[in-house]
Amino acid sequence: MRYDGARLADFSAAATDEGRGRMDLSFLLLVLGLLGTGVLMVLSSSFPRAYYDPGRVTGGNAAYYFVRQLLFAGLGVGVMLLASRLPMGFYRRYAFPFLILTAVLLALVPLIGVKANGSRRWLGVGGLTLQPSELAKLAVILSFSVLICRYRERMKTIRYGLLPFLGILGALVGLLVLEPHFSASVILLAVGAVMLFLGGVGVGWFAAAFAAAGTGLAVLLTFFPYASSRIMTWRDPFSSSSDEGYQIVQSLYTIGSGGLSGLGFGGSRQKYLFLPEEHNDFIFSVCCEELGFIGAALILSLFALLILRGYWIALHCRSRFSFLVCAGITTLLAVQIFFNVAVATNLLPCTGISLPFFSYGGTALLIQLGEMGIVLSASRDVLET
C-alpha cells in the first residue's frame, strides 16, 4: 500500500486511549497460542533436570521450572494487556529515559551482576534476576524510531543518519561485550541495521558495514584460536562429540529421534540429562523429539503467521513512529526465532539465544510479552481497510 504524508504523520505524544479501536485479535490469539504451547513444553522438558538435579534451586521439585514459567506467563499476559492500553505517544515520550535506564543497568552487570557459566549477564533483584540485555533490544527499537522520525529527510547524511545511531549501538554493544554476551550483541546489531534500512540510510553504508564485518571475522579467526575452534566444531561437531561438540550432537540426536510424528508429549528420552539446556536454548530440539517433524512444522508455522501479522500491522499503522516500532519488534522476534532454530539444527554455530515464548526465563518472557503488547497498542490505531 502507498503512504502519503498525512498517513505517516506522527501522533501527538498527548494521545489518549479514547477513540482508539480494538486490538488485533489475530495477533493476540497467535501470541497466546504460542505462549500456551511454550509453557507446556517447559513442563515436559524441564521435569527430569528439576527432579534428578536437585540442589539449592529446585530442591528436587519436578515442577519447579514449570510453576515459575506459568507464573511469569500469567504476569506477562497482564503486562501485555497493560502495554496494549498505553498510547504509542507514551512509548515515544519515554524512549530515551528507557534507553538511559537500560544503559545504567548494563553498566552495573559487570560490577555486581550474577555470574553463571563464566559470564555475568543478570542483575539480582530480591529473589529474582533481571537480564538487561533483553531491555537493550527494545531500547534500540524505541530510540531509533524516535530519531528516524525526528531527522526524516536527513537520514542519508552522516551527521544525522549515522552518528547518533552508531553512538547508541556502540555504547550498548560495548557494555554487552564486557559481560560478555556476544549473541545479544549480534542481535542488537542486526535489529539496528534493519531499523536504519527502514529509516532510509543509503545502501552503500550497509555494503561498507558488511565488508568491515567480514574483515573483523577474518581477524578473529586468524588471531583468536577459540573462535577458530568454534567454527571447526560447527562444521564437524561429531569430531569432538564428547567435548566442544557435545551439545550440538545431542541436539541433532534429539531432533532425529522424533521422526515424522514424534514420541508423544512427555516422551522425550534425550531430556533425561543427555541434552544440555533442554528447557532453555535447546527446547526446540525437545519439541522435535516429542512432537515430530509435523509438530515442529506447526510451531514454526504459527511463528511465521505471527511475524507476517506483525508486519501487516506495521504496514497499516497511521504514524511513522508506530510503523517503525512494530516493524522493529517483529524483526527482533523473527531474528531470535531464526537464530535459535538454526543453532539447534547446526545451521549456525552454537550461541546462547532463547526461543521466544518457549525457552525458560522469567524476565525474557515478561519483556517479550510487553513487546507484543506494544504491537497490539499500535494495532488499535491501524488504517481502515
Residue 239 has pLDDT above 80, yes or no: no
Residues 351-379: b if buried by 16+ CB within 10 A, e if exposed = bbbbbbbbbbbbbbbbbbbbbbbbbbbbb
Burial of 19 (0-12, 13-18, 19+ CB in 10 A): exposed
Secondary structure of 29-92 in HEC code, one letter for each residue: HHHHHHHHHHHHHHHHHHHHHHHHCCCCCCCCCCCHHHHHHHHHHHHHHHHHHHHHHCCHHHHH
Instruction: With beta carbons less than 8 A apart as the criterion, state whether 175 and 106 touch.
Output: yes
Grid cell of 327 as nine digits: 516493524
- pLDDT over 70 percentage in the chain: 88
Residue 12 has pLDDT above 60, yes or no: no
For the chain, the 3-state helix, strand and coil shares in percent, each to the nearest 5, are: 65, 5, 30
Query: How do residues 278-312 score in pLDDT, each as one tens digit?
Result: 999 999 999 999 999 999 999 999 999 999 999 99
Question: Would you call 355 helix, strand, or coil by DSSP?
Answer: coil
First to last CA, the chain: 11
Residue 104 has pLDDT above 70, yes or no: yes
What element of type H or E holds 120?
Answer: strand 119-125
pLDDT of residue 223: 60
Place 241 in a pLDDT band, splitting at 50, 70 and 90: confident
